[in-house]
Amino acid sequence: MAILRTRAVAASIATVATLLLAAGCASRPQRPPVTPPEAQPEPQPAPEPQIPAPLRPPSRATIEAAPFPSSLPIPVDGVDRSELESTFDHPRSGGRRHEAIDIFAPRNTPVRATTAGYVSSRGVRSLGGRTISVIGPGGYRHYYAHLEVWAGFDRGDYVEPGDILAYVGNSGNASAGPTHLHYAIYRSDDEPLDPYPLLRRGPGPFE
Ligand SMILES: [Zn+2]
């Protein structure tokens, strides 16, 4: 009798074990996964961080080799093309001729570079007061005078069209008159060019 019961219990255990195995519930000894040595990935160096190269401005030679533009934006903020008046070649004191355009605007109105270029000089002159000059395309020099105060650019700096060079004032021999920008353009042989038609054909002020 006892033997029969033991057999029966053993049979039940075997059945349960079979069922558990079939159901995947039984715990089997887990073997660690074998990875062939050749399957190990080679250690890769960390990828170089992708940093864009800093944008280098064109050289002065490149700018001077570029063609002189057929039109120019107005260098003084808020001045419309219709407000411009040509005074190029008008007589001035001491037998001089006016080699520029005068663009009238309130004191401290931003004065912006009309072209890309390099600041060739910045300083105080007896007639022009505070001035800054930029050599741009074609080797033409853009002369901004009677300034109230300069912005950050100085001799040797690269500027782009629209960069603020200074602010409108009436320094120099304009101190008794209304604030304005005296804007002149000189060829590389110092021959002045009338800015008026260039500004009239252009897109107007930057802002
Ligand atoms: Zn002038």
Q: What is the pLDDT of residues 184-205, one digit of tens each?
A: 999 999 999 999 999 999 999 9
Number of domains in the chain: 1
The answer to whether position 119 is within a domain reads: yes
Residue 26: the pLDDT is: 45
- pLDDT at position 32, please? 64
Residue 106 lies in a domain: yes
Planar angle of CA 102, 64, 166, nearest 5 degrees: 35
For residue 47, the tally of other CB atoms under 10 A from its CB is 6
Does 50 fall in a domain? no
Q: How far apart, in whole angstroms, are the C-alpha atoms of residue 182 and residue 145?
A: 5
Nearest residue to 143 via CA among 132, 152, 151, 128: 132
Is residue 115 a part of any domain in this protein? yes
pLDDT digits (tens, 9 = 90+) for 20-69: 444 444 445 566 666 655 666 677 777 777 766 668 999 999 999 999 99
pLDDT greater at residue 15 or residue 151: 151
Judge whether 85 lies within some domain: yes
Residue 156 C-alpha to ligand 1 middle, in angstroms? 25
Residue 153 C-alpha to ligand 1 middle, in angstroms? 22
Q: Which of 51 and 157 is assigned the larger pLDDT? A: 157
Domain at 113, CATH number: 2.70.70.10
Residue 132 is part of which domain span?
60-201
C-alpha 109 to ligand 1 mean position (Å): 17
Three-class DSSP category at 7: helix
pLDDT > 90 fraction of the chain, expressed in percent and rounded:
72
Cα→Cα distances 62→59, 103, 113, 120, 138, Å: 5, 30, 18, 15, 9
Whether 193 is covered by a domain: the verdict is yes
- CB distance 199 to 72 below 8 Å: yes
- Cβ atoms 144, 105 nearer than 8 A: no
Supply the mean pLDDT for the chain. 86
Residue 118 lies in a domain: yes
